[in-house]
C-alpha cells in the first residue's frame, strides 16, 4: 500500500477548501440613482439597457448563495431598478422604485377610482370596505395602507405573513404555487416607493428564505 505524502494531503485539503470558497456566492451593492436607494443583491454584475455590463461593489461572501453564477441581472431601460433571476426563471427578484403602487393611484386615488378598479377586476368592493375601512373609505386615503389592505384582501388565506409600519409594509403569500415576498418602503422626500419582491418555488424555500431576509434588511434610502 502506497503512503500518501504530507505535501499531497496539504495540497488536497487546500484545493478542497478553495472549491468550497468558490462555491459560495456573494452579495454586492446596487445603487439606484433615479430613486435614490441602495440594496444588497446576490450577484456581482448586471446588464444595462444598452447591452453593457456593470460590475457591482462587493459587500461580502455568503454561504447562503450556492454559487457565484446562480443569478443573472439586468436593469430596466427606464433605470427604475433591477430584475434578478436564475437560469430557469424559477426564482425572480425585483428591486425597483415607483411613483405609484397600483392603477388606482395612477388615476388619482379616490373612492371612484377604487370602485372602478374593483369592478374591473371583479373584486367585492363592499366586502373590502367592511373588512378594512369599517364600511366607508376616508376622505384622505393613505396610498401605502390602501395597497397593503388590497394585497391582504386579494390573497386572503394564502397570506403567510404580513406587517405594516409608518412608512413600509411587508406581505408574503402563495400565488400560482410560488412563494412571494414583497416589501414596500415609502420615501417621503421623493414621494416615491421602493419595492423589493422575490418569488420562488417551495422547493427552494430552504435556501431562498435567508437570502430574502438578507436583501430585505439591506435596503436603505439615500438622502
Give pLDDT tens digits for 39-81.
Answer: 999 999 999 988 899 999 999 999 998 887 899 999 999 999 9
The Cα-based distances of 99 to 96, 106, 108 in angstroms read 10, 8, 12
The Cα-based distances of 187 to 62, 83, 106, 143 in angstroms read 29, 21, 17, 12
pLDDT at position 129: 97
Paired residues of 168 in beta bridges: 185
Domain that holds residue 215: 24-99+142-221
Structural domain contains residue 50: yes
CA neighbor of 85 nearest in space, from 213, 218, 208, 203: 208
User: CB neighbours (10 Å) of residue 194?
Assistant: 25
- Burial of 113 from C-beta contacts in 10 A (0-12 / 13-18 / 19+): middle
Structural domain contains residue 172: yes
Structural domain contains residue 64: yes
Structural domain contains residue 119: no
pLDDT at position 17: 41
Structural domain contains residue 179: yes
pLDDT at position 98: 98
SS percent in the chain: helix, strand, coil, step 5:
35, 35, 30
Q: What's the rounded Cα separation, in Å, for the pair 98 and 186?
A: 10
pLDDT at position 13: 42
CA neighbor of 176 nearest in space, from 90, 94, 96: 90
Specify the CATH number for the domain of residue 200.
3.40.1000.10
pLDDT at position 6: 52
Going residue by residue through the chain (223 aa), what tens digit of pLDDT does each one get?
A: 445 555 444 444 444 443 344 447 899 999 999 999 999 999 999 999 888 999 999 999 999 988 878 999 999 999 999 999 999 999 999 999 999 999 999 999 999 999 999 999 999 999 999 999 999 999 999 999 999 999 999 999 999 999 999 999 999 999 999 999 999 999 999 999 999 999 999 999 999 999 999 999 999 999 8
- Count the domains in the chain: 1
pLDDT at position 119: 97
Amino acid at each position: 500500500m502506497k503512503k500518501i505524502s504530507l505535501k499531497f494531503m496539504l495540497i488536497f485539503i487546500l484545493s478542497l477548501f478553495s472549491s468550497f470558497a468558490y462555491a459560495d456566492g456573494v452579495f454586492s451593492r446596487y445603487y439606484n440613482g433615479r430613486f435614490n436607494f441602495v440594496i444588497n443583491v446576490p450577484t456581482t454584475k448586471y446588464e444595462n439597457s444598452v447591452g453593457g455590463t456593470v460590475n457591482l461593489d462587493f459587500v461580502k461572501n455568503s454561504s447562503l448563495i450556492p454559487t457565484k453564477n446562480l443569478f443573472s441581472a439586468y436593469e430596466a431601460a427606464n433605470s427604475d431598478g433591477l430584475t434578478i433571476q436564475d437560469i430557469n426563471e424559477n426564482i425572480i427578484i425585483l428591486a425597483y422604485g415607483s411613483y405609484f403602487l397600483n392603477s388606482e393611484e395612477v388615476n388619482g386615488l379616490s373612492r371612484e377610482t377604487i370602485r372602478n378598479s374593483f369592478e374591473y377586476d371583479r373584486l367585492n368592493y363592499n366586502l373590502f370596505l367592511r373588512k378594512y375601512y369599517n364600511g366607508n373609505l376616508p376622505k384622505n386615503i393613505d396610498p401605502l395602507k390602501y395597497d397593503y389592505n388590497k394585497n391582504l384582501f386579494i390573497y386572503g388565506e394564502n397570506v403567510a405573513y404580513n406587517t405594516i409600519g409608518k412608512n413600509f409594509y411587508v406581505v408574503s403569500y402563495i400565488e400560482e404555487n410560488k412563494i412571494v415576498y414583497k416589501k414596500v418602503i415609502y420615501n417621503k422626500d421623493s414621494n416615491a416607493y421602493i419595492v423589493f419582491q422575490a418569488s420562488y418555488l417551495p422547493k427552494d424555500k430552504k435556501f431562498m428564505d435567508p437570502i430574502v431576509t438578507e436583501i430585505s434588511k439591506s435596503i436603505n434610502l439615500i438622502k
